[in-house]
Amino acid sequence: MKLGRLNHIGVATPSIAESIRYYREVMGATKFHEPFDLEAQGVKVCFVDTPDAAGELGKGTQIELIEPLGEDSPIAKFLEKNPAGAQHHVCYEVEDIEDARKWFEEMGKRILGPTRIGAHGTPIFFLHPKDMMGQLTEIMETPKGDAHWSN
């Protein structure tokens, strides 16, 4: 397994609309994707594009704003502890999700749930923060073509 690029940083928020305002007015962000419901994971998602090292907007690491769809959403309890919102996870790309899962399992890392389809339409899984230097870590298969930028 070989670590790929940092795909996105997940930020839990009680309001995507308020977070968009913050990133626009405070951080100077200009490119926001249309928010959409990811019902299988109990969240609404909105990606914010950042520039890459050359300054090209939309090719850098994204910010994934995640808002709970209801009280039973996996991030609802996280927001109870962080009512203003906070960084929730980091997401790294890998070439082959099954190879990566096997790699982490062989190392004894705790994988949270089955491999499933994430917000970019590619397979993902999460690793327990206690095994990952205190960070909830998402591993995602590198999107093919322009799937990363289509949401």
Residue 127's domain comprises 6-149
Catalytic position from the list 67, 93, 138, 141: 138
Question: At 18, which CATH number?
Answer: 3.10.180.10
Q: Which among 59, 65, 57 is positioned nearest to 35, based on CA atoms?
A: 65
Cα 149 from Cα 32, distance rounded (Å): 11
Q: Which DSSP symbol is given to 92?
A: E
The pTM (predicted TM-score) of the whole model is: 0.91
pLDDT beyond 50 at 149: no
| 18 counts as catalytic | no
The answer to whether position 57 is within a domain reads yes
Whether residue 49 is contained in a domain is answered as yes
The answer, yes or no, to whether residue 28 has pLDDT greater than 60, is yes
Number of domains in the chain: 1
124: exposed, middle or buried (Cβ count in 10 Å: 0-12, 13-18, 19+): buried
Q: Is residue 80 part of a domain?
A: yes
Coil, strand or helix: which one is 99?
A: helix
Residues 37-65 pLDDT 10s = 999 899 999 999 998 887 887 778 999 99
pLDDT value at 17 more than 60: yes
Exposure letters 91-114 (e unless 16+ CB within 10 A, then b)? bbbbeebeebbeebeeeeeebeee
